[in-house]
Structure 1
Amino acid sequence: MLTSNSKNVVAEIRATIAARESLVRARVRGKLQFLSPSLPEGVERNHSSVFWILQAQLGTLDKMKSSFALEAEPGTFELLAIARNLFENVIWLRLFNREREYGLLFYEQLLKQQKQNTEMFIAKANSEISLFHEFERIDGENLDFSFFSVLEGNPTDEEIQAAQVTHRNLTDDLDNKARRAFSIYASAAKFNGYGYQCNIIREKELPRQLLQLAEIQKSLDKLCSAKWSILSEPMFRLSKVRWNWKDRANDVGMIEQYNFLYAYTSRLLHSTPMNLITEKQLSASESAMMLDYAFITILDIFDLIDSFSFPGQANVAVFDL
């Protein structure tokens, strides 16, 4: 439960977002709209650092707005997640303002994450095909087992109802096993049947994901082959190194914030012995501190986005009417 002071800070954050977000967004959209005609779809646009910086700025505004969109009070885990997310957003924005080539590193990270997520999805889909084949077999055996005693002769209504109850219980148990497997398609399989759902995954979902993976890999290959010519030597070397938030925080003078924020939030976000034994909620003063951090960081986000510039930019604002 937030104190009245913390509630006031939440209200202040929402008021600030309401007052500034639409104009800052309109300015970013204006820059993007006048930039886009000079960057045809394809490699030219994908290899434009400014294009991806502007896209990242719009995404930052989306995330910031959604974080405080609800009227409900943010709880402990929401505050911790918001604080970490805002911190990492600010690092990106500071890097963009420091060196525009970070826009291409952002794009490379995007492609790598998209590739990883798609590969994970494909692996999961294949595992579910195997799982659902097995469940289809079990489902058939359950049906035979449940109605074996009533298939011959003249079963009474009570015997038929008992067989139906047995089958329903076995089906529910099988559906629960699918849920315990953290199946993406468990709900669909429950409706469509496990065998038919296998066909849907194999014939529709997997081809779509494989095509998407091929497109991502194509874009990643093009970027990797072009990096040496479109990045400066220091940025090219940096692109070869695994992304590390601690190092990037140090680059923009935020290492003290990193050391405090990551240690502080990890204490409550991870299930360590200290987390399980000690207090699991932020105190009133801790909540107030996190909200103050969010408020100041949001102000910084607006200022950093507004101060970003590049040669030939259009200083116009584009609003939706």
Structure 2
Amino acid sequence: MYCLSSKLITTSTPVVFGVQTRGMATLKDIRVRLKSVTNIQKITQSMKMVSAAKYARAERDLKSARSYGHGAQAFYEKTDLVKAEEAPKVGTLLIAMTSDRGLCGGVHSAVAKKIRAVMKTDENAANIKIVCIGEKSKAMLARQFPNNILMMFNDIGKRPPQFTDATIVANAILESGLQFNEGILIYNKFKSVVSYITTEMPVFSLSALSGSPKLNVYDSLDDEVLKSYYEYSLASLIFYAMKENACSEQSARMTAMDNASKNAGEMISKLTLQFNRTRQSVITRELIEIISGAAAL
């Protein structure tokens, strides 16, 4: 039987021929690690600069994109849509807004955590369908809820989101034929450079929109016009969530790369000190050996 304790005892035994004890870093090991950490720091600093430039653009784009989401939400509020608990339970749609890229802290995991909480507390979890926007939500949820995944979208986050991207997602949801009376779009709402809020935004079905009690205050709303506006409002909400999530992601990545650069700097200082001390001890030991040999003669 393989014994771990015997391995530990063996590895701590000094090696013959005067070689340094195993487990203690040599000058070469420290030099290699120091070079590796220095290269990592250069990469994280470069990624921080890139994320800062992308964040500045994402923040500018978010200001103009907010009108899409706020306009659709205002229409839903003014028409007093039928609540899900007042309608017969048909199904629930969850839209997870993430991207394909990582190294941005807990932005994507916060969305997945929200969905897991909904799946755990909802008694009708079998009828919940999940739309994963981005590879990160797919990787976190597809294995745990394979039967609840309705569709997945990739190539998100590599470039700034456009309204065309939101239209593709909205059309795919509408063409899937899914019947639901309650929908939740989960995304990260940008708050400041160092913070964001994982937010739930309601998404209503066409039947709930057509059955709203205050819809008759609007003139010339036939079925075709209502359907067209519903498609546009769904795409607007998804586009708004994409912009909010993209801005939150870039700010979180910029903060994460800044923290990584600081941690690498601290590690470089410790490794440099360790390297100097190890080199000094090696030189001292060699001098002692030379002096002892000369004294023996």
TM range (shorter): under 0.3
- The TM-score with structure 1 as length reference comes to 0.24
Higher RCO (Cα < 8 Å, 6 or more apart): 1
Q: Which has the higher strand share?
A: 2
User: TM-score, length-normalised on structure 2?
Assistant: 0.26
